[in-house]
Amino acid sequence: MAAAKRDYYEILGVHKNASLDEIKKAYRELALKFHPDRVPHEQKKEAEEKFKDISEAYAVLSDTNKRALYDQYGHAGIDQKYAQEDIFKGADFSSVFQDLGDFGLGGGLFDEIFSDLGYDFFGGRSGRASGSRRRGRDLQISVSITLEEAATGTEKTITVPRYETCPVCSGTGARPGTRKTTCPQCKGSGHTVAGSRGFYIQQTCPRCSGGGAVIQSPCPECRGEGRSKITRKIKVKIPAGVDTGSNLRVRGEGETGAASKGDLYVIIEIMPHSVFQRHGNDIFIEINVNLGKAVLGGEIIVPTLSGRVDMKIPAGTQPGSIFRLKAKGIPDLHGRDIGDELVRIGVEIPKRLTSEQRRLMEEFARLNKE
């Protein structure tokens, strides 16, 4: 006697009045947890069964009509209305996963988990295309620049070692003058099919990796991979306003994949400056003036990122006073504004006095009743 099928709501761990979003969230977490390629080898069979169950439960509960039949008649209503393979028609599995393209995952997490691992539901038409959808690996490299370069923007030539299409075999992986032959295991389809209980998983052929063909005589340069490691010099424009940790994405400058190239991510590091400190888009500097200048006021020369400027300080300037030079800082990365330069005044107290200087200071103290 066949074992009774478990309740779909119980399988996904949701209440019977759960919303579609709650069902999607539950399925997403379980699919990530029990995907056969994400568990240890000894747990694969058990995970495969659970993966089939949760996928079947989601296919029914995510469809308004199928869910209504199931709520009214249970499994009997579904079995009478739909053949087992028809349960999954119209089920939008990809909508369960948020698109992570900005993180270099191409078509989203759904493709990353299912397609790139070689899985498709019910003899889906992907076959060898599942392998060809894979994009090249993203690369990351750090670049150090000066504070002045961060303020004005700059262009750097960086050296990037990466895998590219093999120049000898043009990416075929076969020795020049030879050709690939049809894979004997999948007969050129690029996939094998396995399953039970009417639930079938189409898996990338392990012999040809989904290509449908095998290489009898590998290319001597890339040894059949179709790619070889090459070092490239790439010019990268760094915009004004970047800071340490800024991440610049250079599209298509990553490694070559089966269908498209990955991206290059340039991580910026600002080198320490001998004079300035950076606080957001503002820069900070400390200038020492002599006692007479602080008391009487006058002009002082102040360094900026674009050269020296004259700045007036008023009579009676106190130690620690801060003056602002407008728009002498770092431009905003998004072009909204330019930071300022903050000048903090320090007062130099003479350690030694001439006899005349001492006499005058004593007179000053007397007049000031000190």
* Digit-coded pLDDT (tens) for 227-286: 888 899 999 999 999 999 999 999 999 998 877 889 999 999 999 999 999 999 999 999
Nearest CA to 65 among 52, 78, 54?
78
Instruction: State mean pLDDT over 216-233.
Output: 89
Instruction: Give the CATH number of domain 277-367.
Output: 2.60.260.20
Cβ-contact 76, 27 below 8 angstroms: no
Give the range among 61-65, 89-93, 101-105, 168-172 with minimum mean pLDDT.
101-105
Indicate left, alpha or beta for 166 from its phi (over 0: left) and psi (-120 to 50: alpha). Answer: beta
**CA dist., res. 48 & res. 131, Å (int):** 21
Cβ-contact 213, 151 below 8 angstroms: no
Q: What is the pLDDT of residues 33-55, one digit of tens each?
A: 887 666 777 777 888 888 888 98
What are the distances in angstroms from CA 330 to CA 22, 96, 122, 240, 304?
Answer: 46, 42, 57, 8, 11
The CA-CA-CA angle for residues 325, 326, 328, to 5°, reads 75
Residue 200 binned pLDDT confidence (cut-offs 50, 70, 90): low
User: Yes or no: is domain 8-93 CATH 1.10.287.110?
Assistant: yes
Compute the chain's Rg from CA coordinates.
34
Instruction: Give the CATH number of domain 139-180+215-270.
Output: 2.60.260.20
Between 224 and 158, name the one with better pLDDT: 158
- The reported pLDDT for the residue numbered 83 is 61
Q: What is the pLDDT of residues 270-324, one digit of tens each?
A: 999 999 999 999 999 999 999 999 999 999 999 999 999 999 999 999 999 999 9
User: Taking 60 as the threshold, does the pLDDT of residue 94 lie above it?
Assistant: no
Nearest CA to 295 among 252, 342, 350?
350
User: Taking 50 as the threshold, does the pLDDT of residue 81 lie above it?
Assistant: yes
User: Taking 60 as the threshold, does the pLDDT of residue 98 lie above it?
Assistant: no
User: Taking 50 as the threshold, does the pLDDT of residue 369 lie above it?
Assistant: yes
Cβ-contact 236, 143 below 8 angstroms: yes
Considering the entire predicted model, what is its pTM?
Answer: 0.56
Residue 227 CB partners (closer than 8 Å, separation 6+): 163, 164, 165, 166, 171, 255, 256
Enumerate the CATH 1.10.287.110 domain ranges in the chain, comma separated.
8-93
Enumerate the CATH 2.60.260.20 domain ranges in the chain, comma separated.
139-180+215-270, 277-367
Six-digit token string for 189: 């389809």
Give the range among 78-82, 95-99, 343-347 with minimum mean pLDDT.
95-99
Residue 95 binned pLDDT confidence (cut-offs 50, 70, 90): low
- The reported pLDDT for the residue numbered 303 is 97
- The reported pLDDT for the residue numbered 103 is 31
Look at the alpha carbons of 217, 221, 225, 227 in this order and tell me if their dihedral is positive or negative: negative
Residue count (the chain): 370
- The reported pLDDT for the residue numbered 102 is 34
**CA dist., res. 99 & res. 107, Å (int):** 7
- The reported pLDDT for the residue numbered 109 is 43
